[in-house]
Amino acid sequence: MQSFLDKNKYSIFCIVLTALFWIIEVSVLGYAVYFLNENGYAASEIAILMAVTGIVAAVTQPFIGYYADSNKKIDFKNILYVFGVIVILLFFGLLYFDKNKLVAGILFSAIYVFTNGMSPFVNSSCFYYKDRGIDVDYGVVRGFGSFSFAVFSYVLGSTTKLFGSKAVAINGIVSAILFLLVAIIIPRVKDYKESNVTIETKVKPSIEKNDTSFIMKYKAFTLILISTVLAICFQNADCGYLIQMITELGGDSYNLGVANAIAAIVEIPIMFYISKLMKKISLSKLILIATFFYVLRGFVFTIPSMIALYMAQVMQMLTYAIIIPSTVYLSDEMMHEGDKNKGQTFVGLAVTMGFITGSFIGGQFIAIGGTSLLKVGCIVIAILSFIFAALGHIVYAKTHK
């Protein structure tokens, strides 16, 4: 047992850190619409609030990354210390001001911005060790993140039914405190005396004169990123406003917890297997397959049944679970050495922009035409995502023969 723990020490730390982060995200992503709805926000107001919040998050995230890269004294641990403390304080504020509409909205938005800023540094914990010759499988680590999200989505669904929206803040407080403790104790490699790993010198990212030249340089990557923005837009519009669909079917926050848990559970095998799957199927084709199933998923959502809604959530394994890791790996594969950091930044921005547009469009669709318009609109978005993925795959196939 001791030898197993020694051998997998760093993987276990990364798994626990990532699992706790995704438990925090249960409150932030899984129950955002529910929490804001319970505190007096209409669908159109939630749309505007989340869109503005997403824009702030999209603007600040690259600056945080550039600052961390430019300062050699700062690593993922330093950022997670600071952001962890801030998130804890914000959740405490949310607990005590949850019935003050304006304050609750501001605090929730701030939590979203800071957890969004934490996300790339949580991922960096895996690559920090990999860069130092220590084997940490990102897919396995992320799979445990999905598992924790699944379990606590169900748990939070049950507790909100009993205790209301305060349960969202309590979940955030407890998980954020535990997250901070793990971020403090997770070891740096230089502190591990038995490590004889040689740290290789990294190539600094090249700086393009402007983003247009970068886009023209990587046309296939750009087309696939547009497809990703549209896919995540679908994801956040349909799944972000899932509580409205569930309510129309006679369900409540408990059913929301079950639906979120189903989606997270089915992600796990794909996350574990993605590194092997990409050796058999090209990454651009995997993304094309994912967007095709987004179209099918959109049609399944139109069936007025709780069972059909749960089936649409099962399709998470063929959509979101494929497209997220595939775009990360595709960026690493396509970028020249000096452009890899910038490529990952564009992937992060694409996902954030998808969340922004999804939150805004979803809320507007519901305000104008209810969930019926939301479902039809999301099918159109999914079709556009498939078209751009197909174009990206064609260009990719021509340039990667």
Q: Retrieve residue 202's tokens.
A: 């990294």
pLDDT at 297 over 90: yes
Residue 211's pLDDT is what?
Answer: 52
47 vs 75, which has greater pLDDT? Answer: 47
CA distance 56 to 68: 18
What band does 338 get if pLDDT is binned at 50, 70 and 90? Answer: low
Q: Retrieve residue 212's tokens.
A: 């247009």
pLDDT at 93 over 50: yes
Q: Retrieve residue 364's tokens.
A: 């507007």
For residue 165, the SS3 value is coil
Within 10 angstroms of residue 135's Cβ, the number of other Cβ atoms is 10
Residue 208's pLDDT is what?
Answer: 45
Instruction: Count, in order, helices (H) and strands (E) of the chain.
Output: 16, 0
CA distance 320 to 315: 9
Mean pLDDT, residues 2-10: 67
Q: Say if residues 234 and 294 touch (Cβ distance below 8 Å).
A: yes
Least confident of 201-210, 268-277, 347-356: 201-210
DSSP class of 12: H
Q: Which of 73-77, 173-177, 200-204 has the highest mean pLDDT?
A: 173-177
Residue 122's pLDDT is what?
Answer: 86
Residue 199's pLDDT is what?
Answer: 35
Q: Say if residues 79 and 180 touch (Cβ distance below 8 Å).
A: no
CA distance 61 to 113: 8
Residue 195's pLDDT is what?
Answer: 42
DSSP result, 309-348: HHHHHHGGGGTHHHHHHHHHHHHHHHS-GGGHHHHHHHHH
Residue 308's H or E segment, with its range, is: helix 306-314
Q: C-alpha angle 128/132/134, rounded to 5°? A: 90
CA distance 395 to 132: 35
Residue 339's pLDDT is what?
Answer: 63
Phi-psi domain of 166 (left: phi exceeds 0; alpha: psi -120 through 50; beta: other): alpha
pLDDT at 233 over 90: yes
Per-residue pLDDT tens over the stretch 27-67? 998 888 889 988 888 878 888 888 888 888 878 876 776 67
Closest to 186 measured CA to CA, from 4, 11, 6, 13: 13
20 vs 118, which has greater pLDDT? Answer: 20
Residue 401's pLDDT is what?
Answer: 61
151 vs 346, which has greater pLDDT? Answer: 151
Q: Say if residues 166 and 95 touch (Cβ distance below 8 Å).
A: yes
What band does 342 get if pLDDT is binned at 50, 70 and 90? Answer: low
pTM, full prediction: 0.76
Residue 219's pLDDT is what?
Answer: 85
Least confident of 2-11, 97-106, 289-298: 2-11
Q: Which domains does the chain have, with CATH numbers?
A: 11-190 (1.20.1250.20), 211-401 (1.20.1250.20)
Closest to 317 measured CA to CA, from 301, 297, 332, 347: 297
Q: Retrieve residue 232's tokens.
A: 């995540």
Q: Say if residues 237 and 380 touch (Cβ distance below 8 Å).
A: no
